[in-house]
């Protein structure tokens, strides 16, 4: 049996999806697409998104054989799913047909942007095509595919944090390309996830931008499933409050004197630990050749970091770099409590104003990275955009709610191509030849066949190359598509009279 936790894939969708095949007009072809309609957290001054995660969905939920056993199990469920515990309609005959004729693989084609593509809102990130008798099934798997919102939103959030770190490095670090920027944001989110699967999907999305993580489920999956065994993520030994309070005194922490070692210091009294406990162990760490990371875990984030920087400066010493900022000797501060995009910016600004280089500070983000976001954070949606009726009449369609213009969708079948500035622009497909090699929307699934995926290193390079050159905002709708939008809206208005 296909499925997850013993649940057949047939019911891996919203209830109403199973009834739609009886409602959609008889058609030869139906096309739907997915897009993000807003910048991160509704930001209108930066509408870039970092697309990622389609491979996980395709490999684990789409490119899976359905079986007649799945249909039998689902039929038992549908028999009592309707209101009043009556039979709920579902397209059993269509399911049996493609199980027999297409070896059990769902009969649609999915095109998607390459993993790690940087683009703006309203760019179709995937396009679904269903034809002939299977045309009504075009959005049956929408619920699953729409879940691309999660890794893309995490990747975008993480990248925006990277922007803040790189900007601070540019201002305060002599070698702005210093590789330590790769470890400025550490994933602390595993324990806050709703399930193991979320930790993997979200944790891997973060690793597009940074190498630091404590979410080993994601690090392992990225290394051995996505990157041919080549490592991409690291962490360091560190204490937690349970370790600190297990000792009679914090001074008894003796392990890991060499290498990088992080120590939480506010189990009892952060200021006392900085002023009285830290001096007694700093000498030991320095003599052992270690690099000590001081970790506050409560209080005001900005104040806690500044106190840690000043205490470390007093104990370990510092050197002033060529840009006039202090670089601590063999010590740093890690803020892992209450971290958000705003907190990162505030801390980095305060660090600079206090005369310290950004390379002295690292951040750990838990719930803020993997949990405090949802589908509305960047307003993701999948919508039908084209139908070819049974009589051959073609119609481009769109959603145009008068009460909410931000929920407008795009009409037609699409091609996404980069302009001379490297910005992905959305065009009507009929403007270009079939199988245009420059079309960024590539086939990733076609009636059971899947593409050859790029390794994770290749995707990370794409992110590093594309994101920085992308303008923060851009009108990415081509003139040709704007003409089609205007024409389609006029047709809709006329039909509603």
Tell whether residue 41 is among the known ligand binding residues: no
Model pLDDT, residue 492: 82
Tell whether residue 25 is among the known ligand binding residues: no
Tell whether residue 330 is among the known ligand binding residues: no
Tell whether residue 296 is among the known ligand binding residues: yes
Query: What separation, in Å, do the N-terminal and C-terminal C-alpha atoms of the chain show?
Result: 50
CA angle at 215 for the pair 210 and 218, rounded to the nearest 5°: 75
Domains in the chain, start-ordered, CATH in brackets?
9-152+378-495 (3.20.140.10), 157-370 (3.20.20.70)
Tens-place pLDDT, residues 408-448: 899 999 999 999 999 999 999 998 888 899 999 999 999 99
Tell whether residue 412 is among the known ligand binding residues: no
DSSP 417-481: EE-TTS-EEEEEGGGS-TT-TT-S-EEEEETTEEPPPPPHHHHHHHHHHHGGGS-SS---B-HHH
State the pTM of this model: 0.94
Range scoring the smallest mean pLDDT among 141-145, 149-153, 258-262: 258-262
Tell whether residue 367 is among the known ligand binding residues: yes
Tens-place pLDDT, residues 62-105: 999 999 999 999 999 999 999 999 999 999 999 999 999 999 99
Tell whether residue 295 is among the known ligand binding residues: yes
Tell whether residue 337 is among the known ligand binding residues: yes
Tell whether residue 48 is among the known ligand binding residues: no
Q: Higher confidence at residue 201 or residue 404?
A: 201
At residue 497 the predicted structure's pLDDT band, cuts being 50, 70 and 90, is low
State how far the alpha carbon of 32 is from the alpha carbons of 15, 66, 127, in Å: 19, 22, 6
């Amino acid at each position: 049996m296909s499925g997850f936790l013993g649940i057949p894939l047939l019911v891996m969708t919203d209830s109403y999806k199973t009834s739609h095949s009886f409602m959609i007009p008889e058609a030869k072809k139906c096309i739907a697409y997915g897009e993000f309609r807003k910048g991160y957290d509704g930001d209108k001054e930066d509408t870039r998104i970092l697309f990622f995660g389609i491979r996980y969905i395709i490999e684990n939920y789409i490119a899976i054989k359905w079986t007649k056993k799945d249909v039998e199990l689902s039929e038992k469920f549908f028999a009592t799913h309707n209101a009043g515990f009556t039979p709920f309609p579902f397209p059993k005959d269509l399911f049996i047909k493609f199980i027999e004729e297409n070896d059990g693989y769902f009969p649609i084609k999915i095109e998607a942007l390459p993993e790690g593509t940087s683009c703006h809102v309203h760019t179709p990130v995937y396009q679904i095509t269903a034809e002939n008798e299977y045309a009504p099934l075009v959005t049956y798997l929408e619920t699953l595919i729409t879940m691309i919102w999660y890794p893309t939103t995490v990747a975008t959030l993480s990248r925006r944090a990277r922007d803040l770190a790189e900007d601070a490095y540019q201002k305060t670090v002599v070698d702005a390309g210093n590789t330590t920027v790769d470890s400025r944001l550490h994933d602390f989110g595993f324990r806050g996830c709703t399930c193991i699967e979320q930790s993997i999907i979200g944790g891997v999305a973060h690793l597009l931008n940074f190498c630091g993580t404590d979410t080993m489920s994601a690090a392992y999956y990225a290394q051995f499933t996505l990157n041919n065994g080549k490592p991409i993520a690291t962490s360091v030994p560190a204490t937690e409050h349970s370790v600190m309070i297990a000792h009679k005194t914090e001074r008894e922490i003796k392990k890991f004197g060499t290498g990088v070692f992080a120590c939480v210091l506010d189990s009892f009294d952060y200021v006392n630990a900085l002023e009285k406990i830290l001096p007694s162990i700093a000498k030991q760490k320095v003599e052992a050749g270690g690099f000590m990371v001081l970790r506050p875990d409560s209080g005001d984030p900005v104040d806690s970091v500044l106190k840690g920087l000043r205490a470390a400066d007093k104990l370990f010493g510092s050197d002033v770099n060529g840009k006039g900022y202090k670089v601590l000797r063999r010590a740093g501060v890690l803020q892992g409590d209450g971290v958000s995009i705003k907190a990162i910016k505030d801390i980095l600004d305060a660090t600079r104003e206090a005369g310290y280089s950004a390379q002295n500070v690292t951040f750990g983000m838990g719930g803020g990275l993997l949990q405090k976001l949802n589908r509305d954070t960047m307003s993701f949606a999948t919508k039908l955009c084209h139908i070819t009726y049974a009589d051959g009449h073609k119609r481009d369609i769109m959603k145009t709610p008068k009460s909410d213009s931000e929920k407008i969708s795009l009409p037609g079948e699409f091609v996404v191509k980069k302009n001379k500035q490297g910005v992905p622009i959305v065009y009507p497909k009929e403007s270009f030849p079939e199988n245009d090699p420059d079309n960024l929307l590539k086939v990733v699934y076609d009636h059971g066949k899947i593409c050859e995926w790029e390794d994770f290193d290749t995707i990370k390079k794409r992110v590093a190359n594309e994101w920085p050159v992308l303008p923060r905002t851009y009108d990415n709708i081509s003139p040709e598509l704007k003409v089609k939008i205007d024409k389609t809206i006029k047709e809709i208005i006329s039909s509603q009279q």
